[in-house]
Amino acid sequence: MIDVINLHKSFGKNEVLKGISTTIEEGEKVVIIGASGSGKSTFLRCLNCMEDPTSGSIMFEGEDIANIHVDINRHREKIGMVFQQFNLFNNKNVLDNVMLAPYSLGKKKLRALKKDPSYNGPKTAKELKAACRENALKLLKRVGLEEKAEAYPSTLSGGQKQRVAIARALAMNPKVILFDEPTSALDPEMVGEVLELMKELANEGMTMVIVTHEMGFAREVGTRVLFIDDGKIAEEGTPEEFFGNPKCPALKDFLSKVL
Partner 1 sequence: MLNNFSVKWDKFIVNLIDKGGYKQVLDGLGNTIEVAILGLIIGMIIGTVIAVVSVMPKYPVLPYKMQNLFDKFLDKFPKKPLLRVVTLYYVFYAIMWVLQRLPLILDKICTLYVALFRGTPVMVQLLLGYFVLFPSMGIKMTALNASIIIFGLNSGAYVSEIMRGGINSVDGGQLEAARAVGFSYSASMLKIVVPQAVKNILPTLGNEFIALIKETSIIGYAGALDLVFAFKQIGTSSYEYTVPYIVLSVIYIVLVVFITILLKIMERWLAKSDRRH
Is residue 87 a contact point for partner 1 (CB under 8 A)? yes
Q: Which C-beta is closer to partner 1: that of 96 or that of 220? A: 96
Q: Which C-beta is closer to partner 1: that of 107 or that of 232? A: 107
Q: How far is the CB of 216 from partner 1 (least distance, A)?
A: 27
By CB under 8 A, name the one of 172, 210, 228, 234 that touches partner 1: 172
Q: Is 234 helix (H, G, I), strand (E, B) or coil?
A: strand
Q: Which C-beta is closer to partner 1: that of 100 or that of 250? A: 100
Alpha-helical (H) ranges within the chain are 40-47, 72-76, 94-115, 125-142, 158-171, 188-203, 215-221, 239-244, 249-258
User: x-or-dash pattern for partner 1, window 31-70, by CB under 8 A?
Assistant: -----------------x-x-----------------xxx
Q: How far is the CB of 171 from partner 1 (least distance, A)?
A: 8
Give the C-alpha separation, 122 to 181, whole Å: 36
User: x-or-dash pattern for partner 1, window 125-154, by CB under 8 A?
Assistant: -------------------------xxx-x
Give the C-alpha separation, 175 to 1, whole Å: 9
Is residue 88 a contact point for partner 1 (CB under 8 A)? yes
C-alpha dihedral sign at 37, 245, 191, 91? positive
Q: Which C-beta is closer to partner 1: that of 23 or that of 104? A: 104
Q: Which C-beta is closer to partner 1: that of 131 or that of 250? A: 131
Say if CB 24 and CB 1 are below 8 A apart. Answer: yes
Q: Which residues contact 4 (CB under 8 A, 6 or more apart)?
A: 20, 21, 22, 23, 24, 47, 56, 57, 58, 59
Q: How far is the CB of 119 from partner 1 (least distance, A)?
A: 20
